[in-house]
Amino acid sequence: MAYLIGVVLFALAIFISVALHEAGHMATAKAFGMKVTRYFVGFGPTLFSFRRGETEYGLKAIPAGAFVKIVGMTPQDDDVAPEDEPKAMWRYPVWKRTIVMSAGSIMHFILGFVVLWVTLFLVGVPNPELSDQAKVNALPPTVSIESCVQLDADRANCLPTDPQSPARQAGLQNGDKITAVNDTQVSTYIGLVNTIRAAKPGPATLTYVHDGVTKTANITLISAPRHPADNPSGAPTQVAALGVSQALPKNVPLNVTYGPVESVGQSFRFTGQLFQGIGESLKSIPSKVPNLWNALSGKPRDPNGPISVVGASRLGGESVEHGAWTLFLSFLISLNFFIGVFNLLPLLPLDGGHIAVAWFERVRSWLYAKIGRRDPGRVDYLKLMPVTYAVILVFGGFTLLTVAADIVNPVTLFGK
| End-to-end Cα, the chain, rounded Å | 15
Element containing residue 170 per DSSP (H, E): none
Catalytic site includes residue 83? no
Which run of H or E residues covers position 83? Answer: none
The residue annotated as part of the active site, out of 22, 146, 321, 361, is 22
If we measure between CA atoms, which residue out of 216, 194, 215 comes closest to residue 205? 216
* Residue 244 Cα distances to 87, 143, 147, 189, 240, angstroms: 69, 6, 9, 10, 12
Mark 243-282 as b/e (b = at least 16 C-beta within 10 Å).
Answer: bbebbbeeeeeeebebeeeebbebbeebbeebeeebeebe
Residue 69, strand partner residues:
38
Contact 114, 123 (CB under 8 A): no
Gap between the Cα atoms of 105 and 275, Å rounded: 13
> Rounded distance, CA 123 to CA 120, Å?
6
| R_g of the chain computed on alpha carbons | 28
As a whole number of angstroms, the distance between CA 238 and CA 226 comes to 6
Identify whether the C-beta of residue 221 lies closer than 8 Å to the C-beta of residue 201.
yes
CA distance linking residue 23 with residue 33, whole number of Å: 15
CA distances from 273 to 268, 278, 280 (A): 9, 9, 11
| Active site residue ranges | 22
